[in-house]
Structure 1
């Protein structure tokens, strides 16, 4: 009888007022129950108002945003690694090393992979399309012959390094840095500052589809390096549309496609979920986040010699 009375009492009480239910006796009178019902929620609201509820909510919201960014970054990294591991579909109309425009000049390079004395020296010959991109080709020739004057300094491609290699997508060679700029900011050493090019007004209808296509950035504020497409691709790949929008084609590799294939197979530092945190640090102005190690070759690649072929 006592158990059935207690269960029926619990069933009749409200959800928010259970303090007056007793396991050893009957319920409190109605007037006492009304007094407690009217005072307890008000007291709870007072206690909650004194706690920093809004700070916790804001912190939880920021944590949720960071977790979402990390999830997006991990998915993007997995997709980039999958694209890099799987070569794009070859385009049927491309043949490696076959010029698809008139070659007006030729530039010869000797590329070294590694830093030891016995490191391999690989030849590379680039045919330039002076008719399709006259201004850009002229600047490229000046850099090959070490005679481009930029801000009072004579620049050239000799002893420059590979700045980025994305397997099956792009090989970027010839980054020119300001070696004297070795200052520190807030105690953090900085890498040599990359010199920026003034850009070029050249545009043409040539596209990045055939292996060995050579191009340079046409927008000002980019570097002086040139990009080599390592494999044949088709229009369905998004990265070639990005290349078409950012770079102007100035030539193609006519000798040394074996060198391009070896450069394409060099191990590189692939993106990780931590790169999203680095981007957040860049947005917050943290100087430690300025260095971007993504897609850097793990073996040093540099141009030992370069010259024009008469």
Structure 2
């Protein structure tokens, strides 16, 4: 089916994210993207994004402590868990110091891999309200449907009707569109990234192309911390909030 156009969807809320490291690591300047959220079309995901960009953050429990075979890994798991429990009740998850973790040029830009102190939190489940909205042009913003996408969000940099757009239509819920800062999105889209020869895109988190052991963040935070297509320079969200 055709679906509705994101250009016609009502913007109910506006949020901003400020990115650091895109211009040059030495300059203090930040680059701002303002996103209009479709609260009528995707009420539940939008409410979660508003909390993730609010001063109090999104309340989220710690992942249960896992049993590890190796004593060294068990000690590390205990440490991660105990560190998480210390702030579980009074600190909500937010995007401060979260990273732009994957750029698949013209196909997707994935932001909001939360900082180390939040990697052991249980990620939310984003619900689909069946709005019929699609990734129909550059700047559409979406979140992964269900609970395996972490806390992050995706900006679609490409054109409507592409194969990449169809994949996102299947996996993600459209939650908004970029209102200001498309020039910033275009620069993100051009970032050089880590690429192994002949990587299998669907086997991003393991397999023969991965040469080194995954980092602690990769083990505890999930696939967004050990991926191919990670920008070669670190671009972080230095701040986020409600935009006027």
- Structure 1 length normalisation: TM-score? 0.57
In the alignment, does 2:137 pair up with 1:210? yes
The residue aligned with 2:195 is 270
In the alignment, does 2:97 pair up with 1:172? no
1:150 match: secondary structure:
coil
The residue aligned with 2:7 is 99
The residue aligned with 2:126 is 199
Q: Aligned partners of 2:120 and 2:193: how far apart in 1?
A: 21
Which is further off, 269-278 or 248-257? 269-278
How many pairs align?
Answer: 198
In the alignment, does 2:16 pair up with 1:108? yes
2:32 to 108, 112, 123: 123
1:139 to 48, 55, 59: 48
Q: Aligned partners of 1:277 and 1:150: how far apart in 2?
A: 26
In the alignment, does 2:60 pair up with 1:150? yes
The alpha-carbon deviation at position 304 of structure 1 amounts to 1.1
1:136 match: secondary structure:
helix
In the alignment, does 2:233 pair up with 1:295? no
The alpha-carbon deviation at position 179 of structure 1 amounts to 3.1
2:59 match: secondary structure:
strand
Contact 1:178 1:195 in 2 (8 A): no
The residue aligned with 1:223 is 150
The alpha-carbon deviation at position 113 of structure 1 amounts to 2.1
- In structure 1, stretches of 5+ residues that fail to align are 1-93, 181-191
In the alignment, does 2:212 pair up with 1:305? no
Q: Aligned partners of 1:129 and 1:169: how far apart in 2?
A: 22
Distance change >3 Å, CA 265–CA 195, structure 1 → 2: farther
Greater relative contact order (Cα < 8 A, sep 6+): 2
The alpha-carbon deviation at position 118 of structure 1 amounts to 0.9
The alpha-carbon deviation at position 139 of structure 1 amounts to 0.6
2:213 match: secondary structure:
helix
The alpha-carbon deviation at position 196 of structure 1 amounts to 2.7
The alpha-carbon deviation at position 111 of structure 1 amounts to 1.0
Q: Aligned partners of 2:105 and 2:204: how far apart in 1?
A: 24
The alpha-carbon deviation at position 175 of structure 1 amounts to 1.1
Mapping for residues 35-54 of structure 1, pairs under 5 Å: none
Contact 2:123 2:147 in 1 (8 A): yes
The residue aligned with 1:68 is none
- Structure 2 length normalisation: TM-score? 0.71
The alpha-carbon deviation at position 120 of structure 1 amounts to 4.2
1:155 match: secondary structure:
coil
Report the structure, 1 or 2, having the larger helix content.
1
The residue aligned with 2:166 is 241
- Per-residue CA deviations over 1:51-94 (Å, capped at 9, x if unaligned) read xxxxxxxxxxxxxxxxxxxxxxxxxxxxxxxxxxxxxxxxxxx9
1:288 match: secondary structure:
coil
The residue aligned with 1:65 is none
Q: Aligned partners of 1:197 and 1:241: how far apart in 2?
A: 24
Contact 1:168 1:231 in 2 (8 A): yes
